């Protein structure tokens, strides 16, 4: 395994831990951007250029902006949302147990060891991906387009509905 993979994996995991443990929400959002960018660099490191750049565009470009906007709109950046001590302990314990089970399954799996150590990297040029999206995967692509349109309209309808308050004055 290349050294670059381990460096990128360490950066990704460290920023993910920072995103989940920092006290102020806006710091969490910035660390989350770093974690998403780290995952994108891992994709690039593994040879999936198009998926890495799509991850960079969608997560770092769109989802991060959405999260920052949600933090600003809910005005919760002032509140330090630290977890209660008991919840933090038991939650970390559950996550550790899940990781232990997954690691045990991965290490003892025969499928993983059956894979060749250094296979030839499969080619995935943008041209091939485009042709695959237009020929065998055209139906999922259309369904996805419908889903994205519905999600866009639904998000706008949910977030922008002016709720008539009982006092007569608009709340915001």
Partner 1 sequence: MTPLTACLLVASLLFSVGLAGAITRRSAILVLAGIELMLSAANLNFIAFWRYGPHAASANHLLTGVLFVLFSIAVAAAEAAVGLALIVAIYRHANTSDVTEITELKG
Which of the residues 108 through 127 are near partner 1 (CB under 8 A)? 112-119, 121-124
Backbone dihedral region for residue 126 (phi beyond 0: left; psi -120 to 50: alpha; all else: beta): alpha
Q: If binding is defined by CB under 8 A, does position 66 make contact with partner 1?
A: yes
How many other C-beta atoms are found inside a 10 Å radius of the C-beta of residue 169?
A: 6
Nearer to partner 1, 163 or 168 (CB): 163
Binder to partner 1 among 7, 106, 134, 138 (CB under 8 A)?
106
Q: If binding is defined by CB under 8 A, does position 19 make contact with partner 1?
A: yes
Q: If binding is defined by CB under 8 A, does position 129 make contact with partner 1?
A: yes
Separation of first and last alpha carbons in the chain: 54
Q: If binding is defined by CB under 8 A, does position 30 make contact with partner 1?
A: no
Binder to partner 1 among 4, 83, 138, 142 (CB under 8 A)?
83
CB of 90 to partner 1, least distance (A): 8
Which residue shows structure tokens 């091939």?
A: 128
Q: SS3 for 24?
A: coil
Q: If binding is defined by CB under 8 A, does position 146 make contact with partner 1?
A: no
**Token pair of 154 as six digits:** 């639904």
- Report residue 5: phi and psi, to 5°: -60, -45
């Amino acid at each position: 395994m290349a050294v670059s993979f381990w460096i990128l994996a360490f950066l990704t995991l460290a920023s993910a831990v920072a995103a989940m443990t920092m006290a102020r929400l806006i710091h969490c959002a910035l660390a989350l951007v770093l974690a998403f960018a780290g995952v994108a660099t891992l994709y690039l490191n593994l040879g999936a250029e198009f998926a890495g750049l799509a991850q960079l565009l969608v997560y770092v470009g769109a989802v991060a902006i959405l999260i920052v906007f949600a933090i600003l709109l809910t005005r919760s950046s002032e509140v330090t949302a630290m977890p209660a001590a008991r919840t933090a302990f038991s939650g970390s314990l559950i996550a550790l147990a899940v990781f232990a089970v997954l690691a045990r399954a991965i290490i003892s799996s025969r499928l993983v060891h059956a894979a060749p150590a250094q296979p030839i990297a499969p080619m995935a040029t943008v041209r091939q991906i485009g042709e695959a999206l237009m020929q065998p995967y055209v139906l999922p692509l259309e369904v996805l387009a419908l889903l994205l349109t519905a999600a866009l309209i639904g998000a706008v309808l949910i977030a922008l509905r002016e709720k008539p308050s009982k006092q007569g004055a608009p709340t915001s």
